[in-house]
Structure 1
Amino acid sequence: MTRHGESTGNVAFRETDGTDAEEHGISERDADIPLSDTGRAQAVRFGRRLAALPEDERPTLVLVSPYLRTRDTARIALEQVPYSPRVRVDERLRDRDQGVMEGLTPVGVRRRFPEEAERKRRVGKFYYRAPGGESWADLALRLRSLYQELSGGRALVVTHDAIVVMTRYIVEELTEQEIMEVEKEPIGNCSVTRWRRSEGRLRPVDYNDLSHLSDTGALAP
């Protein structure tokens, strides 16, 4: 499993972090945000890691979020490999819908929706759903339906940071408190998270591994 390469949205988030801005200044809808130049370079390096896998570890199926940044990450990465896994786009892997909070910074949320900021504080991050949006728990519901369909083979999932986190919640049967602690660590762009089946269940191998990007100078989340 991997998160998409750095997007122009990720760059905008970093540029507004810690400022007084109320919006991130992203003009595209979330589904249309493209990769940055750094993100494309990260996708190439991720693809080279896939190309170097031994035959018995190569993915037989690639599941991809329908968003532009994930589809381009998968396409660029697979251009580097000497094999041809089946590729399937699945909308259940899309990023978490922020609803009316889309495009707002934390400052913007507090100023424009103070009652929602308070409700999130009371309900907690895991179960809070912004108007028109999704909670973290909602992600678990759609991901369970997808993963229950998989049988056999080796799947590579190209998706978003929230989906990586919630996949770990499902696969490792974590609690709300445990996964919200895990979520505090940012998921790096084009990082690798892996599980391997052993004794009838999936067991963690790597989480948020960025070793294949160590010489790109592009490790920002």
Structure 2
Amino acid sequence: MTESVSSRHHGISDDLRHQITAGGIKAGERLPSEADLARQYMVSTPTLRSALAVLEREGLVEKIHGKGNFVRRPLRKITYVGGWGTLDPSTATDADLRVTVRRTAIRAHGHLTTLLRVPNDSPVNELLCISYEGESPHSLARIYVPRDLTPTAALSDGPSCEGTARGFAALNPPPAEIQETVCARLPAPDEASTLRISSAAAVLAITRVAADRTGRVIEVAHLVFPGDRVDAAFTTHHVVDERRTQG
């Protein structure tokens, strides 16, 4: 019985996939309601949802709560350039992305205090940056900065992170050390919801910690990209000790 149900939902996903790839259902088009599709394929709603979940994991369909299931428009792949970049999680200059920003004043607790190297309950500004390609969310970043270091440009919510980024880049003294930790993992529930991706779709998560010449951390950034939308490029420069070469 289980094999029959499994075979049925894979058959439905195969049929819908063929309709999408053949252009019978266009990118951005809303699929019939789940109830209508279940009647069309003569299956239960749970079986139909299992079929749609397969297409979600493949990136062909996205479920927008309150609106329905849509054929996903192909989103461009960008390159994340390691190092001190902008607050926009995409540092690729050719990416035509719109970025929204939401600022929240919080108190540092737990692992955040370790990353920022501040006492528990220290005042911190959190900047939530979400990039969009058209109306589809592309990637997100959560930026944490000690309250006394937050530039004036970051104190108001705005349509883009670019002005905020210039403010951070102008900090005096400038960042002297940047450490980035990269991992592939499954998205947290809020990340999957924000990015409109399946909870089974892998994301590339980057934690960036920037410190000044005194060792004080001036920014912690948590960047999250769906795995099919980003390449990460890192360049290592060999530092030559001039004293040894002269000796």
Counting helix residues as a fraction of each chain, which structure ranks higher? Answer: 1
TM-score range relative to shorter protein = under 0.3
TM-score for the superposition, normalised by structure 1: 0.24
- Which is bigger in relative contact order (C-alpha 8 A, separation at least 6)? 1
TM-score for the superposition, normalised by structure 2: 0.22
Give 1 or 2 for the bigger CA radius of gyration: 2
Counting strand residues as a fraction of each chain, which structure ranks higher? Answer: 2
